[in-house]
A and B are shown apart, each in its own frame.
Chain A
Amino acid sequence: MSAKSLVHPGEQWFFYWKTSAALWESQILELPRDEVVFLPLNWGFHAENNDQWDFGEILPERDLFRLASLLTQHNRKFTWLIPLTPSPFLPNGGIPVTTARTLSLSPSGTHLACLDHEGRLHKMFSWYEPKVFQAWAGFLAAFGTYIAKRKIKAPVWGAQFFYKEGNDLVSFLTDSSVAFEQGFSRYLRKSHPEGIEISEPSKEAVLKQDFAREVNELFKVTAEAALGPFWVGSQEICVLGSGPRDTLERGLTSGRTQLDFFQDIFELFTKNIWVSSSLLTHDEKKDLLPKALINHFGQTAAEEKYHYRMHQGEIGEDWRPYSVVDVVSSRDDAWEKNGLFPFLESNLRWLYGVHKEIPFTTEAIENSSHKIKFFHGSTLDRTAFGQMLKLFMMGQRVVLDKSGLTPELEKRLQVFFIENNLKLQNVNYLTAINLTELGDGKFITFEGDSLAGKDTKEFWKNIFRFIRMTLPEVIMDREVFGLWNIRATGNSDLNYLDVRRINLYNPTSYKKSVTIRTHKHFAFMKMVDPERAQTKSTPDGVQIELLPNGTVALDFGHFEEN
């Protein structure tokens, strides 16, 4: 493996501890000038002993001031990443050797261990050991003082690392080791001093989740307090290939396939989770994967994710990711059970995003005004409920699954309809549906619980028909991947409303075909950067042939809608 890929493992991360400090400058000069450099902090590497942290007085490779000075001297923007969970790319998960005591246990009972980009196996140690928290908080205090004293003006982001196991996203803080159990006992004694009887395993599971959530929050709050002036926020980052099953698979002769990684990154893109390819070896990160990572998790996306740039409300001349549906997560897989997710997967694949909440800022509202917003009653509080109604009043298209809505909010909803003199259209189709319109705004409510176990394909088809959407129709195999982008028309374009681009990838070893039907609202403009791909215009749209590892981007002009 080259020194360059050791130090730059992907997504503009810089592993400063992987090379001699004497080589930092030459490594920095190899980085593209306009890219933000992310510096994950290997906090265990700075431990001199239990309460002494070295930032260059003893080892030059720990001299973060020199590193920051070199980056500044060469006009590189940079950001620190402070781990808020075990880090799969660091020995012991980042914990100093003297503090690493109890190995973390995954939910299936195996120790958590991850193969890094050099084929080394890093074992994760439990962060529920009180000594780990003490050491980590000690490092934060020392680092905060150091960057303040040295006047290093760079933002600090907290990084919460996750792995993917099946369809689940699991935090590296998830642990069932003895250290976790002991911590849980202390938590119970403190939160229930009168004692608590846990007779049901399900009750114990809920209490353990509460405990894990509080510990997660504790790490975040402690970092924010220690690094106050420099602290920006925290990011959830899924490290590709880091799960217990991934480790086994990557250890096998066959390894993990490119298709597996594509499935992961596209699913994470939909869930709005940032990815890191820092564990992947040179052999794993070949063919199409680097291109897809650069196109969708590269410089522009990183700058937005880390707040270096904000999208303005109106689309501009730069490409930006395009999707048409925003879903606010529900409790208990409710969107799965009422059939929305299966419908979106079949009909609007990669054109929807799942969010914990929808930001209610002017930019975010303007930027996503074209998107249909789905809310679930089980996760709405008074504030979110009020914001949802405002979005509808602003002319947006809103769908509410009323299951789990509190009686108070249900009452407010009825008052809202009466106060605004809204005409409700009641439909009974599999469940009770209410449709109403106000200007451009459309508001649909329904009882999603009644849909569980039913064939809801036609139900959702009708809902989307009422909402009305104009999109090119993409017909492609499940193993072909494609993401849309949008930009405003430029001087050299015809008078379109906007221009859409789809980036298509075939990560398999088979030839695949894709058909795009333009439905008289889009005109095929051009093909961009084809690699092992051919396109042919047809009366309906475009026919694309992608050879193994083939990729192409296609631009479409969007015309006036009827």
Chain B
Amino acid sequence: MSLHLIYFFQSSQNQNESWTPARYKVVHFFGDEGFIPDTKLSELAKSDPHADFSDLTFLSLDDLKSFANRVAEDMGSDSVRLLSVQDYNIGLDGARDRRELKEIFVKFGETVETATPSKKKGLFGKLFS
């Protein structure tokens, strides 16, 4: 089972003397069997002290990848495919039907292999049951 994460990169902003650093925001996180509940994602994001777990935003791409890895381990998945919103949009632009929509997640993005895949098989199914 593989997971897919679509993220949005927001560059740093400097407005009214308040500076917001660049951020990576999780837009969608899902597997073949459905979306991972937001509550579960927030819970797993809490272990990153620099992340905004309520908004699922991370300060670097490495932090986002680590988070993706944690989720994959928890879900018993071997890998996560990370796609930026830009990648997803390029894929969407060329897709004409459901089959081609699904192919976007194979053709585009970067795969993060789970370092220590969990033995907890079937947990994903339990989440959605």
Contacts and interface: CB of A to CB of B under 8 A. Distances in A.
Contacts of B98: 115, 119, 121, 250-251
Contact of B97 (A110, A119, A253, A254): A119
B119 interface: no
A89 to B, nearest CB: 15
A199 B27 CA distance: 27
A253 B128 CA distance: 14
B102 A110 contact: no
B44 interface: no
Given A108-B8, A254-B32, A123 B92 contact: yes
A6 interface: no
25 contacts: A103-B93, A108-B8, A108-B85, A109-B8, A110-B6, A110-B88, A110-B89, A115-B101, A119-B99, A120-B97, A121-B92, A121-B98, A121-B100, A123-B92, A199-B15, A200-B15, A200-B16, A248-B30, A248-B35, A249-B35, A251-B98, A252-B31, A252-B102, A254-B33, A254-B128
A251 B101 contact: yes
Contacts of A113: 92, 95, 101
Interface centre among A123, A201, A247, A252 (most CB of B within 10 A): A252
Given A201-B15, A251-B102, A254-B33, A109 B85 contact: yes
Given A113-B95, A121-B96, 17 more contacts: A103-B93, A108-B28, A111-B92, A113-B101, A115-B101, A119-B97, A119-B98, A123-B93, A245-B35, A248-B101, A249-B34, A250-B98, A252-B33, A252-B34, A252-B102, A253-B33, A254-B34
Interface range, A side: 20 to 34
Interface of B: 6, 8, 15-16, 27-28, 30-35, 85, 88-89, 92-93, 95-102, 128
Given A254-B32, A254-B34, A110 B96 contact: no
Contacts of A252: 30-34, 102
Contacts of A121: 92, 95-98, 100-101
B92 A110 contact: yes
B101 A110 contact: no
Main secondary structure of the interface of A (DSSP, over half): mixed
Main secondary structure of the interface of B (DSSP, over half): mixed
A108 B30 contact: no
A245 B38 CA distance: 13
A115 B97 CA distance: 7
Contacts of B16: 199-200
Contacts of A247: 101
A95 B93 CA distance: 16
Given A199-B16, A200-B16, A247-B101, A110 B32 contact: no
A38 B101 CA distance: 31
Contacts of B85: 108-110
A247 B97 CA distance: 11
A248 B28 contact: yes
Interface of A: 103, 108-111, 113, 115, 119-121, 123, 199-201, 245, 247-254
Pairs A-B, 6 closest by C-beta atoms: A119-B98, A109-B85, A251-B101, A254-B33, A253-B32, A108-B27
A113 B100 CA distance: 13
B35 to A, nearest CB: 7
Contacts of A115: 97-98, 101
A241 to B, nearest CB: 12
Contacts of B15: 199-201
Nearest to A254: B33
B41 to A, nearest CB: 14
Contacts of A111: 89, 92-93
Contacts of B32: 252-254
A110 B30 CA distance: 16
A199 B13 CA distance: 12
A559 to B, nearest CB: 43
Contacts of B92: 110-111, 113, 121, 123
Nearest to A109: B85
A115 B100 CA distance: 11
Contact of A249 (B27, B30, B100): B30
B39 to A, nearest CB: 13
B82 to A, nearest CB: 15
A109 B27 contact: yes
Nearest to B86: A109
A121 B33 CA distance: 21
A199 B15 CA distance: 7
Contacts of A108: 8, 27-28, 85
A121 B102 CA distance: 11
Interface centre among A119, A200, A248, A254 (most CB of B within 10 A): A248
A392 B76 CA distance: 60
A113 B88 CA distance: 11
